[in-house]
Structure 1
Amino acid sequence: VEEEQARRKMLGVMTFGEIVIDASHTALLTRAFAPLADDATSVWQARSIQFIHLLDEIVQEPAIYLMARKIA
C-alpha cells in the first residue's frame, strides 16, 4: 500500500505536469527511494541519493518544499 502511494505521488509529475513535495511526504518517499539509493547497479542510484538528501533537508526545515516539474 505504501509503495503504491509513493508511486502515485511521483506519477503526478507525468499526469499533472508538476507536484509539490512537502514535509508530509518525506517519510513515504524516503522509504520508497531507499532501495534505489542502496543499489550500486541502479542507474538511478546517484539521483535517488540526492533526492533523499533533499527530503532530509525538508525534515530539518519543514517550511521548505520541493516542486517537481515535467520538462518537455
Structure 2
Amino acid sequence: MARTAKYYHHGKSPAAWAGSIAAAIGFILAAVGSLLGPNWPLVIFGAAIVLIGALATMVMKAMGLGQP
C-alpha cells in the first residue's frame, strides 16, 4: 500500500514551526547584536541560526513533515 503524506493546513506543519522558531531566534540575536555596538560575532551567529533554520525546514519538508 502506498503511504501518503499527512496534510497540514496553512503552515501548521512541524517543518514550518521549526523554521519559524529558528528564524525568530536568529533575527532576535542579530538585532540585539547590531544594537550592541555592533557586536559582529553575535550578528553573524544570528544570521547563521536563520540559515540553519531554513536548511532544517527544507530537510524536514523533504522527509514528509511539511506541506507539499
TM-score normalised according to structure 1 size: 0.32
Higher strand share: 1
Q: Which has the larger radius of gyration?
A: 2
